[in-house]
Structure 1
Amino acid sequence: MNLDIGVFEDELDVLGVVVGVLVALMGVGTLVGMPWQYANSAVVTVGQIVGAVSAIVIGAGLAYFVHSTA
C-alpha cells in the first residue's frame, strides 16, 4: 500500500504523531474540565493537575520524538 503522506516518512510516523497529539489533547481536556472541583483534599487536586500536565508533556514529547527521528 503506497500512500502519499507528505512530510511524514512512513505510515507509522503518522500514527505516532496522531497518538501523541491525542494524548496531549486528552491532558488539555482534563485541565479544561477541572476535575479537581470535586476533590475533597489538596493532595488529590495536586495529583490531578500533575497528571494532566504530565499527559500534555508526554503526548507532545511523543509526537516530537516520533516525527524528529529518522
Structure 2
Amino acid sequence: MSVLPKFKPAWIKTDIWKQMIDNWNTPTWKAKSKRNKRIRSKPTGGKHTLASQSYATAKRKAVKDVTHPL
C-alpha cells in the first residue's frame, strides 16, 4: 500500500485519497479483502447472465425445457 500515493487518480482529492489508503491499511479491511478474494476465486457453478433475453423469456424457456424434455 505504500506505493499507492503515487497512483492517485486526478479526480480524487489528495486528502480523500490519503484517508482511503489509511482505511485500506487497517487489519479489518485487510481481513475483508482476503476473505472476498477467496470468495471470488471459487467457481460460481454457471453463468450469471441471461444474455440479451429478459428474465421472463429465460423463465419461459426453462419451464418449457422441464415440461417438454427431448
- TM-based fold match above 0.5: no
Q: Which protein is bigger by CA-based radius of gyration?
A: 2
User: Quick check: which one's helix share is greater?
Assistant: 1
TM-score by structure 2 length?
Answer: 0.29
